[in-house]
Structure 1
C-alpha cells in the first residue's frame, strides 16, 4: 500500500463517540465529495466512497448521528476512477434532515462560511479528517514532502485553508487544470496536520524518515564544509611551502629571524599540519594567530626578495593564511 493509503486506513479506524465531532467529520467529507441530488422538491444525499472500510465507517457514523437504520444503501459506483462505491440516503425526508442538521445548505448553496468558524478544536480536527478521507493525499516521505486536498470548489479550498490556519498551518492554494489544490510542502507542517487529524502511527513513520533525511543532510553539509576547509588548508600550505622553499634556495632560511626560521622548518617538515597543530609543536607552544602572523612575515619577505630579483610577485597573501 502507498503511504497515503496507510494514513487513510488509520483515519478510517478513528471513530468518535462525540456527536458534534461525528457530524463535523461527516460535513468535512460531504462538502468535499458528496452530492445533493434534487428531484422536484425532493433531495437525496450521495457519498462516493473509495473502499468498503470507509463505507462501513460512514455508514456507522450516519446511523449514530441521525438514527438511521434502513435508509442507507451501498452501491457500486461508476464515476471518478478512485471511488468504487457510493452511499445513498434514499429517503427524501431523511436527506433533508441530514442537510439541515449538518447545515450544508444556505439559500440552496453549500454553507462554506459556517465551517470556517468552528469554535471547537475537536470539531475542526474532525472536519479536516473527513475532508482528507474524501479528497486528500500525502506523498511517501522517502520521495518528498507533499500533502494536498483537491476539493470541488475554490470556496471549499479556502475553507480548508482557513481551518488549517487556526492550527498555525500555512497552506497554499494553486490552480491545477480545473482543480483548486490546497497543499503543504513543509515536513513539519505535514507532521502537524497528521497529528491534528489523528494519524499518529503515520506521523511517527513520517517523522522517522524526516529525521534520517535531516541527519543525512546535516552530515553531507558538514562533509562539504570540511572538504572546503581542507582545500583551503592544502592551498595555504602549498603557498607557504613554495615561499619557504624559494627563500631556502635563494638566500637561505638562516637569513630569517630565528623565530621565523623555526616556523619555516616546521612547515616544511609537516606540510599537512594546520596552523593550530604547528603552534602546538613549538616550544613553548604558540597560538594559531601567532603562527599565522609569522608565516605572513615569511611570505612578505619572500615577495620582497622576488621583487628585488625582478621575479613574479604574489599580490594577495591573505588567500594563503586562512587555516
Structure 2
C-alpha cells in the first residue's frame, strides 16, 4: 500500500462525532467528486459521489447515513481504462433527500447548485479541519516521503481550489496553486508543512510515520555532509602534501636541501619522511614543537623558493 493510500485509509476511519463537522466533510467530498443530476428546469433529481478508493466510498456511505438518516445506494464498476481498478458510486436517488443534502451543505444558492465553500460550513476550526480532510479524501494525494515531499489536491473548479487554498492557509500554511492541463492543483512541498497538514486532518499515525522518515532522512543527509566534508578535507590535505613534496624534490635536485635555512631544511626533511602527516603532526615532530600555522608558514616559504628557482631557470633557458 502506498503512503498516500495509508493516509486515506486512516482518514476514512475517522468519523466525526459532531454533526456540523460531518456536514463540512460531506460538503468537501460533494464539491470535488459529487455529480448532481438536474432536470430541464434545474431541479435536483439525484446525487452521486464517485471514487476509486474503497475506504473513501465506505466513509461517504457512512457519513450520509449517519448524518442524514437517508437511503444510500452503492455500486461498483470496473474502470474501462484501468482494468485492475474499480470505481465506486454512492447514490442518493430520492430527489427530496438529495435536495436536503445540498441545502444543508450550502451547495444550493438561490435554488442553483454552486460549488463553493460557504463560510457557514467552516465557521469553527474543527469544521475547517473536517472540510480539508474531506477534500483530501476526494482529490488529494501525497508522494512517497522517502523520495520527496509533495502533497496536493486536484480540482477542475478554479473557484473552489482558490477557496480551499485560503482555507488551508488559515492554518499558517503556504499552499500554492498551479494549472496542470485542465486541472487546478493546490500543493505543499515543505516537509514540515505536510506534517502540519496531516495533523490538521487528524492523520496522526501517518504523521508519526512521516516524522520518523524525516528524522532518518535528516540523519542520513547529515552523515553524508560530514563524510563529504571530511573527504574534501582529506583530498585538500593530500593535494597540498603532494605539491609540497614536488617543491622539496625540485629544490633538492637543483640547489640541494642543505642550501635552505636550518628551519626550512628540517621541515622539508620531515615532510619527505612523513608524507601522509598533517601539518599539526609535522609540528609535533619538530624540536622545539611548532604549531600548525608555523609549519604552514615554513612550507609556504619552501614553495616560494621552488617557484623562484623555476622562474630563474626558465629565464636562463629563454
- Shorter-chain TM-score bucket reads 0.7 to 0.9
Contact 2:121–2:127 (8 Å) recurs in 1: no
Give the deviation of 1:162 after TM superposition: 1.3
Question: What corresponds to 1:319 in structure 2?
Answer: none
Q: Is residue 90 of structure 1 aligned with residue 99 of structure 2?
A: no
Question: What corresponds to 1:142 in structure 2?
Answer: 146
Alignment of 1:116-265 (within 5 A): 118-265=122-269
Aligned pair count reads: 310
1:18 and 1:290 mapped to 2: Cα distance? 75
Contact 1:279–1:285 (8 Å) recurs in 2: yes
Contact 1:48–1:77 (8 Å) recurs in 2: no
Give the deviation of 1:79 after TM superposition: 7.2
Question: What corresponds to 2:9 in structure 1?
Answer: 9
Give the unaligned 5+ runs of structure 2: none
Question: What corresponds to 2:23 in structure 1?
Answer: 23
Equivalent of 1:268 in 259, 272, 276: 272
Give the deviation of 1:293 after TM superposition: 1.0
Alpha carbons of structure 1 residues 233 and 311: separation in structure 2 relative to 1, 3 Å: farther
Question: What corresponds to 1:103 in structure 2?
Answer: 106
1:38 and 1:252 mapped to 2: Cα distance? 102
1:28 and 1:163 mapped to 2: Cα distance? 12
Contact 2:102–2:108 (8 Å) recurs in 1: yes
Question: What corresponds to 1:65 in structure 2?
Answer: 67
- With 31-40 and 78-87 compared, the bigger mean Cα shift is at 78-87
Question: Aligned to 1:65, what secondary structure does the other structure show?
Answer: helix
Contact 2:117–2:160 (8 Å) recurs in 1: no
1:42 and 1:21 mapped to 2: Cα distance? 24
Question: What corresponds to 1:34 in structure 2?
Answer: 34
Alpha carbons of structure 1 residues 55 and 308: separation in structure 2 relative to 1, 3 Å: closer
Question: Aligned to 2:155, what secondary structure does the other structure show?
Answer: coil
Write out the 4+ residue segments of structure 1 that deviate beyond 4 Å after TM superposition.
Answer: 77-83
Contact 1:103–1:111 (8 Å) recurs in 2: no
Alpha carbons of structure 1 residues 79 and 302: separation in structure 2 relative to 1, 3 Å: closer
Give the deviation of 1:130 after TM superposition: 0.4
> What is the TM-score normalised by the length of structure 1?
0.86
> What is the TM-score normalised by the length of structure 2?
0.87
Give the deviation of 1:133 after TM superposition: 0.8
1:216 and 1:168 mapped to 2: Cα distance? 29
Give the deviation of 1:91 after TM superposition: 2.4
Q: C-alpha offsets along residues 104-130 of structure 1, whole Å, 9 cap, x if unaligned?
A: 132424252525993422211111110
Question: Aligned to 1:163, what secondary structure does the other structure show?
Answer: helix
Contact 1:36–1:46 (8 Å) recurs in 2: yes
1:197 and 1:212 mapped to 2: Cα distance? 24
Question: Aligned to 2:178, what secondary structure does the other structure show?
Answer: strand
Give the unaligned 5+ runs of structure 1: 313-323
Compute the RMSD of aligned alpha carbons: 2.5
Give the deviation of 1:186 after TM superposition: 2.6
